[in-house]
Every structure is written in C-alpha cells, then in structure tokens.
Amino acid sequence: MSAGRFDVAVIGAGAAGMMAAAVAGQRGLRVVLVEHAAKLAEKIRISGGGRCNFTNIGTTPANFLSQNPNFCRSALAAYTPRDFIDLVEKHGIRWHEKHRGQLFCDDSSESIIELLKRECDMGRVAWRMPCSVAELEHDKTDFVLRTSLGEIRAAQLVLACGGMAIPQLGATDFALKVARQFGLKVVEPRPALVPLTFDPEHWKAFGALSGVALEVGVTGGQGKGRAEFLEDLLFTHRGLSGPAILQISSFWNPGEPITLDLAPGRDLERELLVAKPGNRQQLNSVLSDLWPRRLAEQWLSNVDGVEHGVTSLRMADAPDRLLRRLAGQIHRWSLTPTGTAGYKKAEVMRGGVDTRGLDQKTMQAKAVPGLYIVGEALDVTGWLGGYNFQWAWASGMACGRALQAK
Ligand SMILES: Cc1cc2nc3c(=O)[nH]c(=O)nc-3n(C[C@H](O)[C@H](O)[C@H](O)COP(=O)(O)OP(=O)(O)OC[C@H]3O[C@@H](n4cnc5c(N)ncnc54)[C@H](O)[C@@H]3O)c2cc1C
C-alpha cells in the first residue's frame, strides 16, 4: 500500500465520522479522517448548552422522521444508548439525566470530543485537518480525493459531513452533492428543530411578549406526519421558539397551521363557568392567575375573534358563550407560521440522502460498493432530546463495524 493510500477515508470529523473512524481503526484498518474546519467537532461543543445531551435512554425508531422509517431500526438496535453510556463511563465522564430520558455531561461537552479523539488515537486514525476536498472521483479501485493537503486514495469512502444546520460553524451540503454525484437520491433538505416565524405586521403585538415562556401542548403536521408534544414555548421578537416549537417544526410544512393548547391538561371551559357567578374580577386578571400577566393582556386584546373590550369585562358580566369561546381559543389557538428561522438557527437538517439506496445494517450504498454515508447527512432526523447524537453513534458504529481491510 502506498503512503497516501488508505483502506478508508472518512470525510467529516463530527460525531458520526469520529465514531466510524475509531471503530474501523481499532479493527486494524488504515483510516484517514478529513475535516475542513480548523476546530474539531464544534457542534458537539455547543450542543446541549455546552453539556452535550449525548443520548436519550428512551430512544426508539419512533423518535425519528424519515421517508423510510424502518431504516434506522437495525443500527439503533445494534448500538443502544446503554452501549454509549458504557463508553462514556469507560472514559470516566460523569453524567446525569435532566428531563425525559435526556442524558447530559455533568461538566462539559468537551469531554465527549476528548472521548472520540482518544478512541480515534487508539485506532491510529490519521488526520488531515484543516483540509478541504476540491474534487472526488472513483477510479477502477479507489476513491480519489484531491485535497488542499494533496491527493488521498482509499478503497472505501465514508461521508460523515453532517447536515446544513449552522453554516457559520462549517456545515455544508457536501454529503448531498457527493451522493448525487454517485447517482444516489436525496430527500429534499429543510431546516428542522428550528424556531418558527410569522408575518412581522401580524406578530407586532406578540413580539412584545419576547421572553415569555410557558408549558403548552402543540400539534402540527398532516396525516402520518402529524405529531403532538407537551413542552415549553418561548415567545420571541420574530415568532415562537422553545422546545415545543423546535419539536413541531420538524413536522411542519409551509402553509400549514400549528395548534397550541395554552392551558394543557385543564378544562378551562368548566373552570371559567364555575368561577363566574358573582365574580367581580376582570377577565384579564382571571387569566393572569393562569398565565404570565403580560401574556393574558396581549392575548385577550390580540387574538382574532375576541371582541374589543373584553379585557376589562367583569367575570360575572361575561356571557357564557364568550367564556366558552375563550376557553376553546385558549385550548386550540391555531396560527400559521410564514416560515422558519432557517439553517442559521436550526439544530438539524431534515431530509438528506435517501436511505432507500442504502443497506440498513452497514450504511453502504447499494449501487456504489465502498461508499458509506452516516449521521445527519442521511434522511433520518431525530426529535429534540439526544436522539440525533444517538443516531450519529449508532450509524457510525454500524459503518465502522462493516468497513473492510482492502
Ligand atoms: C446548537 C445545536 C445544539 C445541538 N444539541 C444537540 C444535543 O444536545 N443532542 C443531540 O442529540 N443533538 C444535538 N444537536 C444535533 C447534533 O449536533 C447533530 O445531529 C450531530 O452533530 C450530527 O452528527 P454528524 O457527525 O452527522 O455531523 P456533525 O457533527 O455536524 O459533523 C460533520 C462534520 O463534517 C465537517 N464537514 C462538513 N462539510 C465538510 C467538507 N466539505 N469537508 C470536510 N469536512 C466537512 C463539519 O465541519 C463537521 O465537523 C445540536 C445541533 C446544534 C446545531
């Protein structure tokens, strides 16, 4: 084997790429990892508010969106959250569960990057970083990469370049371009786990609520792609954010409404009618017992269909039908976003390389022997809560175990 030739070239030293490279290297394969950024694994570093929500102990295939929903089953079953926790503990990293099965580092996400780096070192992985790939082709035996650090030849190629979220950290559509170059199909990519925005004129009044947060039920999407979450909502100057909105954004399609239940788990109609007789409180102060005062006031004066002047109406004077309608609107506030905050603010990309062209046990392209694709570049998108890293580890592991010495 010549000095510039490897069994495997992995492009992208993020979560999935380092996992695949380390596993293949530790099996004795000659692996080179090519990364164009100057700083390693920036997305891991900023993830989970700097503590990396590295997995979710409740992970199942149902926590992922894909046009081919069964594709992720095999890899997720072969490498579980428990397997990654064992690796985390082997490296002495302390962790805790925060919320609904989400596991975070006690200290810093840096420790996960260190873990992956050490695992790569154990596999004697060669690094080319920072290094950009100008051209890529396959001759009769090898993938040939023309890079800023010279030519690299490898019998197998792993695309681990992630998705397009946060381009300011080096995210690109490189994996999609290369996949297309080799004849693979791509499911239309879109920003996901992303804030939703509204018409600036219409949103002016609610923009004043920027910073207000509350727990809501949220529903969105259509048909089989319909979903419902109970999470926190955050008002922003341009629209809505917070976990509830990030979750539903992955299911939302342009032009569709989302529905918010602003008082989840309560029967507001009954509560208002029971509270009415002889009650001299104004409507807005009754709602202020339920919500932040700013929200109660803005909502009563700005939601379509609520008559002007009801804010200061006394409960005892409010007609039952008005209270019923108010309760209905609070439990089912339907609003249509005009768009998303885009890849700059998205946590992930939805869509990606169509998995129907890949083997689900190995991540190898069926029509292009030797070409593997892992992680977020694939059309497998996890919910918010540690699922996307679990997919990166599991798909990287499946690929790392399948690569061969050539
Ligand atoms: C703000 C934020 C917070 C997040 N928090 C969480 C969390 O807590 N839990 C969770 O599960 N998920 C989280 N995610 C999602 C998670 O980071 C990704 O799903 C995961 O990193 C995907 O792994 P990957 O290896 O496929 O891609 P990445 O980790 O993105 O790695 C891809 C690598 O490829 C490199 N690359 C790209 N193009 C090229 C090229 N042309 N040449 C060479 N290299 C290239 C990139 O620089 C990068 O290093 C978060 C995402 C963001 C943006």
Pair (271, 369) in one structural domain = no
Evaluate whether 392 touches 15 at the Cβ level (below 8 Å). Answer: yes
**pLDDT tens-digit series, residues 178-223:** 999 999 999 999 999 999 999 999 898 888 899 999 999 999 999 8
Pair (270, 392) in one structural domain = no
Our answer on whether the CB atom of 172 is closer than 6 Å to any ligand 1 atom is: yes
Q: What is the predicted pLDDT for the residue at 305?
A: 56
Percent of the chain clearing pLDDT 70 (strictly above): 97
Q: Has residue 374 got a pLDDT over 70?
A: yes
Evaluate whether 242 touches 213 at the Cβ level (below 8 Å). Answer: yes
Q: What is the predicted pLDDT for the residue at 298?
A: 81
Q: What is the predicted pLDDT for the residue at 236?
A: 96
**pLDDT tens-digit series, residues 27-43:** 999 999 999 999 999 99
Length of the chain: 406
Our answer on whether the CB atom of 53 is closer than 6 Å to any ligand 1 atom is: yes
Our answer on whether the CB atom of 173 is closer than 6 Å to any ligand 1 atom is: no
Ligand 1 atom at shortest distance from the alpha carbon of 169: 47
The verdict on whether omega for the bond into residue 200 sits within 30 degrees of 0, i.e. cis, is no
| 286 vs 87 pLDDT, higher one | 87
Our answer on whether the CB atom of 297 is closer than 6 Å to any ligand 1 atom is: no
**pLDDT tens-digit series, residues 71-122:** 999 999 999 999 999 999 999 999 999 988 999 999 999 999 999 999 999 9
Q: Which domain-ending residue is among 303, 323, 340?
A: 340
The whole-angstrom separation of Cα 398 and Cα 360 is 9
Tokens linked to 154 = 């490898």
Our answer on whether the CB atom of 337 is closer than 6 Å to any ligand 1 atom is: no
Pair (324, 354) in one structural domain = no
Give me the CATH number covering residue 360. Answer: 3.50.50.60
- pTM of the complete model beyond 0.75: yes
Kindly indicate the confidence band of residue 306, based on its pLDDT and cuts at 50, 70 and 90.
Answer: low
Pair (164, 295) in one structural domain = no
Our answer on whether the CB atom of 217 is closer than 6 Å to any ligand 1 atom is: no
Q: Which of 168, 265, 142 is nearest to 215 (CA)?
A: 265
DSSP state, residue 364: B
Q: How far is the CA of 128 from the centre of ligand 1 (A)?
A: 18
For residue 145, give its domain range.
5-191+347-402
Pair (266, 172) in one structural domain = no
For the ranges 19-28, 303-312, 344-353, the lowest mean pLDDT is seen at: 303-312
Q: How far is the CA of 43 from the centre of ligand 1 (A)?
A: 5
Residue 140, number of CB atoms within 10 A of its CB: 4
Q: What is the predicted pLDDT for the residue at 309?
A: 64
Q: Has residue 237 got a pLDDT over 80?
A: yes
Pair (174, 35) in one structural domain = yes
Kindly indicate the confidence band of residue 1, based on its pLDDT and cuts at 50, 70 and 90.
Answer: very low
Kindly indicate the confidence band of residue 308, based on its pLDDT and cuts at 50, 70 and 90.
Answer: low
Our answer on whether the CB atom of 55 is closer than 6 Å to any ligand 1 atom is: no
Pair (354, 285) in one structural domain = no
Q: Whose CA is nearest to atom 41 of ligand 1?
A: 174
Kindly indicate the confidence band of residue 351, based on its pLDDT and cuts at 50, 70 and 90.
Answer: very high
Q: Which domain-ending residue is among 322, 340, 358?
A: 340
Q: What is the predicted pLDDT for the residue at 295?
A: 86
Q: Has residue 355 got a pLDDT over 90?
A: yes
Percent of the chain clearing pLDDT 90 (strictly above): 84
Domain count, the chain: 2
Give me the CATH number covering residue 234. Answer: 2.40.30.10
Q: Has residue 371 got a pLDDT over 50?
A: yes
Pairing mode, strands 5-11 and 31-34: parallel
| 92 vs 326 pLDDT, higher one | 92
Name the residue type at position 342: G
Q: Which of 390, 345, 382 is nearest to 52 (CA)?
A: 390
Q: What is the predicted pLDDT for the residue at 145?
A: 97
Pair (135, 205) in one structural domain = no
The whole-angstrom separation of Cα 346 and Cα 349 is 7
Q: Does residue 43 sit in helix, strand or coil?
A: helix
Pair (248, 395) in one structural domain = no
Residue 172, number of CB atoms within 10 A of its CB: 15
Q: Which domain-ending residue is among 300, 324, 340?
A: 340
Pair (143, 24) in one structural domain = yes
Our answer on whether the CB atom of 166 is closer than 6 Å to any ligand 1 atom is: yes
Bridge partners, residue 233, by sequence = 214
For the ranges 59-68, 241-250, 258-267, 309-318, the lowest mean pLDDT is seen at: 309-318
Pair (160, 202) in one structural domain = no
Evaluate whether 125 touches 31 at the Cβ level (below 8 Å). Answer: yes
Pair (184, 41) in one structural domain = yes
**pLDDT tens-digit series, residues 141-158:** 999 999 999 999 999 999
